[in-house]
């Protein structure tokens, strides 16, 4: 069972390569805690999807110190991977998004059941245990059965700017719709998001959202590739900045009956570093978990 870590983002809002920014006095990164929790939950391989030019940094820091604990492999997201040259705008620099990142790891993942997470999000032990349990149960069943680990919106906001979240609707524990909102801002009583036309809509703190923690079987790949090709061929998409988001793809596959998606709410707390100003609070909260005995001091010692 594989943990796929999405770490190819440019980190422009944060102001640096935040995936390898230490969060403890022992030098651990958020990724270290993710891998540690995944190992405890029964994952036996981690695949990092990164930019090829960042390989040496990742290999010499994160990869090197966990290679004795879990099998480590790498996949590379590149603008020209899985996209015909004539369909790539000459001035495009931005990657094609999280769905494309997952597709770039297809050959490495192979026939393994897998979970997908962001590299810069702290999800908590309970989330990994629930995802692992679901993946084990789904691998032997007929059809495409996926899961999403759900968090309450109010527990995922920052005081320092906007965030992107997949806003969910469900029925009887199953996902019915998910829409990626890219500009959600915290307010005193909840949050609001901005539409493309500048209009605003409010959201309550209890709104269930995706933090891009998914459980999949390999059946995802064919459907995800279909949706990515539709995205690339869409004449109305913004050519230089538009992205194909994994939550939107899963929502589209679910709507067309390609799969079903169980929403699993976790009791774990989410912590994230979207902006550089978020770091002190995350450091404080992780430190409190270490003091409480949830994690050892020095994960890999």
The whole-number pLDDT of residue 198 equals 83
The whole-number pLDDT of residue 149 equals 95
> Which residue matches tokens 């390999």?
218
> Which residue matches tokens 């879990």?
70
pTM as predicted: 0.89
The whole-number pLDDT of residue 180 equals 79
Is 165 a domain residue?
A: no
CA-CA-CA-CA torsion sign (132, 137, 142, 148): negative
Summarize the confidence of residues 184-200 as an average pLDDT: 87
Is 159 a domain residue?
A: no
Is 177 a domain residue?
A: no
The total of structural domains in the chain comes to 1
> Which residue matches tokens 């490495």?
108
Is 202 a domain residue?
A: no
The whole-number pLDDT of residue 4 equals 98
CA distance 64 to 57: 10
For 264, the token pair is 């699993």
Is 236 a domain residue?
A: yes
CA distance 167 to 191: 12
Listed in sequence order, the residues at least 6 apart from 165 whose beta carbon sits closer than 8 Å to its beta carbon are: 153, 156, 180, 181, 184, 209, 210, 211
Is 261 a domain residue?
A: no
Is 120 a domain residue?
A: yes
Summarize the confidence of residues 86-111 as an average pLDDT: 94
Cβ distance 117 to 262 under 8 Å? no
Bridge partner residues of 271 (DSSP): 122
> Which residue matches tokens 């703190």?
205
Domain residues for the domain of 110 are: 2-148+209-240+267-291
CATH number, position 281: 3.90.550.10
CA distance 116 to 6: 7
Three-state SS at 221: helix
CA distance 29 to 64: 13
pLDDT at 15 over 50: no
Is 79 a domain residue?
A: yes
Listed in sequence order, the residues at least 6 apart from 129 whose beta carbon sits closer than 8 Å to its beta carbon are: 40, 41
The whole-number pLDDT of residue 11 equals 46
CA distance 190 to 165: 14
For 103, the token pair is 């597709």
């Amino acid at each position: 069972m594989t943990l796929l870590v999405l770490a190819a983002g440019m980190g422009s809002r944060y102001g640096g390569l935040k995936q390898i920014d230490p969060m403890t006095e022992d030098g651990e990164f958020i990724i270290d805690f993710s891998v540690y929790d995944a190992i405890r939950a029964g994952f036996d391989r981690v695949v990092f999807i990164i930019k090829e030019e960042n390989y040496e940094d990742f290999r010499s820091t994160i990869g090197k110190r966990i290679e004795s604990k879990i099998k480590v492999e790498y996949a590379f997201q590149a603008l020209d991977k899985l996209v015909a040259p004539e369909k790539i705008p000459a001035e495009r620099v931005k990657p094609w998004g999280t769905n494309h990142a997952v597709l770039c790891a297809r050959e490495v993942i192979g026939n393994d059941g897998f979970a997908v997470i962001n590299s810069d999000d702290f999800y908590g032990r309970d989330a990994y245990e629930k995802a692992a349990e679901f993946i084990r149960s789904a691998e032997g069943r007929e059809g495409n059965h996926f899961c999403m680990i759900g968090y309450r919106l109010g527990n995922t906001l920052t005081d320092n700017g906007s965030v992107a979240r997949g806003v969910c609707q469900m029925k009887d524990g199953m996902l019915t719709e998910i829409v990626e909102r890219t500009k959600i801002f915290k307010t005193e009583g909840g949050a609001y998001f901005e539409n493309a036309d500048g209009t605003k809509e409010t959201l309550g703190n209890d709104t269930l959202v995706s933090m891009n923690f998914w459980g999949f079987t390999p059946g995802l790949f064919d459907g995800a590739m279909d949706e990515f090709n539709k995205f690339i061929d869409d004449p109305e998409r913004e050519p230089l900045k538009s992205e194909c988001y994994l939550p939107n793809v899963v929502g589209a596959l679910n709507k067309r009956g390609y799969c079903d998606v169980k929403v699993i709410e976790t009791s774990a707390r989410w912590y994230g570093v979207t902006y550089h100003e978020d770091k002190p609070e995350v450091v404080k909260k992780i430190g409190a978990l270490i003091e409480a005995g949830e994690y050892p001091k020095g994960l890999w010692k």
